[in-house]
Chains A and B, each alone.
Chain A
Amino acid sequence: MTDVGSAVESTTGDYDLPDELATDRDVRFPAGSNVLLAGPSMTDKRRMAMELLAHGEARNQAVILVSTDAPTPALLAEFHAQGFGPDATVAVVDCYGTTGVRSETDADFVERVSSPADLTGIGIGLAKSMQAVGDRAAAGLRLGVVSLSTMLQYTGLRRVFDFAHIVGGRAAAAGYLSVWTLDTDVHEPRTVNTLKSRFDYVVEIRETESGRREERVLGGPAEWRTWEPL
């Protein structure tokens, strides 16, 4: 096989959750899991995704972040707000057109992609990021795509579904954790349902009329179907 650089060998172990997401349960995502955070817009899914990604630092796990709907510095600031230190390994595939992000100071590696519609470019960016992270993913790697909604707006379901399946497939084969977000209220219900069906875990988030945020987790051994306050 003419293999143009590959990710490190499969990592073993699993991925623990920040307290907010786990509520009071002892749940972990097994290596290779694909996790979707799904809920209406403005329910704080992006921050929750950042928390979940940054949570691996204590275990020396690396992070690759694909940003499509927010400036990279803002996302990195959310990481640091979670106590994600300057020595932690993070690579960024920036599709937002952020300027002024410097590889040396803000991240270990930054690849710019002109548009969230350029899925091939994002794939190249991911491959380069995995190369750049290299052995530092030995204890695990958390890969975040924030968000699928932006990609859907630019390209449509067929390509986005396949993209999510292929990236999720590589993450699964390598033992990574992949984390995705989706705004459920801006797409057709059928689009949302088709996308949901390809994830190992769907963390659903909703806001009650009284303004309380709740979650439930569908899929896998960690599943709980009743809504829990966040």
Chain B
Amino acid sequence: MTARDSAAVVVLAATPSTADDYADMLRPEYAVETAADAGAALSLFVDGPGEVLVVERRLADDSGTRVVDRLRARQVDPGVVLVTDADPDLETIERGVDEHLARPVTAGALRTVVAEVLDRAAYTDALAAYRTALTEMGELEATLTDAELAAHDRYQELAATVRDLETHLDDDEDLLVADAEFVGAIREAGEDVPADAVADDDPGGDR
């Protein structure tokens, strides 16, 4: 997870002018790229820096949900915002949509949902780092005595990381009450993140 302030957002819309509108709404906070078609969007995630996809449900000759299917089929797991006129439902969340955004899209609403998607990604990164640190602590506990652990620098460092992450995760628990956040977080379960990767971040901080 890179810093959310400069996160790479890819925009795929039915028309180039709509894509440009959305891109303008997200600049300069995010590094935005507009994709000409689904293939270009996919390659920005497979080979490129993409972290969040903003995609319209109805595209010129494709559908936003099919693009999401193709992303997930390639094991690429960016945050996804679906712009749609339809009511949000659990089925599209199941297919990999993190947030729904109703038209007409306003700059404020678009920035808010992109921030929420990045908060969720920060939450799951923190959770993975927490798990990694606990596992490493358990391995040390299995081989060292209490006295040895007390004097063990790495162990003490991990313990501090765990305490820190526990606080952040508890603080952000409330976001799981929303179904989209809850299911999206479970979909990302099991990521491999080093214990120290997000120790200094504030996952989901200033919502």
A residues with a Cβ closer than 8 A to B are 1-7, 119-124, 126-128, 131, 155-159, 161-163, 165-167, 169-170, 172-174, 189-190, 193-194, 197-198
Apart from A1-B116, A2-B180, A4-B89: 8 A-B pairs, beta carbons within 8 A? A4-B88, A4-B179, A123-B182, A159-B189, A166-B182, A169-B169, A173-B176, A197-B138
What residues on A are CB-neighbors of B102 within 8 Å? 2
Interface residue from A121, A155, A170 paired with B176 (Cβ < 8 Å): A170
What residues on B are CB-neighbors of A7 within 8 Å? 177
| Of B2-10, B43-51, B60-68, B93-101, the one with at least 4 CB within 8 A of chain A | B93-101
B132 nearest CB neighbor, chain A only = A158
Interface pair B179/A5, CB less than 8 Å apart: yes
Interface pair B138/A162, CB less than 8 Å apart: no
Interface pair B186/A166, CB less than 8 Å apart: yes
Interface pair B178/A162, CB less than 8 Å apart: no
The proximity string for B residues 72-104 relative to A, scoring 1 for CB distances below 8 Å and 0 otherwise, is: 000000000000000011100110000111100
What residues on B are CB-neighbors of A174 within 8 Å? 177
Interface pair B173/A119, CB less than 8 Å apart: no
| Of B19-27, B32-40, B123-131, B196-204, the one with at least 4 CB within 8 A of chain A | B123-131
What residues on A are CB-neighbors of B116 within 8 Å? 1
B95 nearest CB neighbor, chain A only = A120
Give chain A nearest CB distance to B10 CB in angstroms.
Answer: 19
B131 nearest CB neighbor, chain A only = A161
What residues on B are CB-neighbors of A128 within 8 Å? 90
Chain A CB count within 10 A is highest, among B93, B112, B169, B176, for: B176
Q: A2-B99, A173-B173 are in contact. Are A120 and B180 (CB under 8 A)?
A: no
Give chain B nearest CB distance to A201 CB in angstroms.
Answer: 16
Q: A4-B100, A128-B90, A190-B135 are in contact. Are A120 and B178 (CB under 8 A)?
A: no
CB of B174 within 8 A of chain A? yes
What residues on A are CB-neighbors of B188 within 8 Å? 162
Give chain A nearest CB distance to B100 CB in angstroms.
Answer: 5
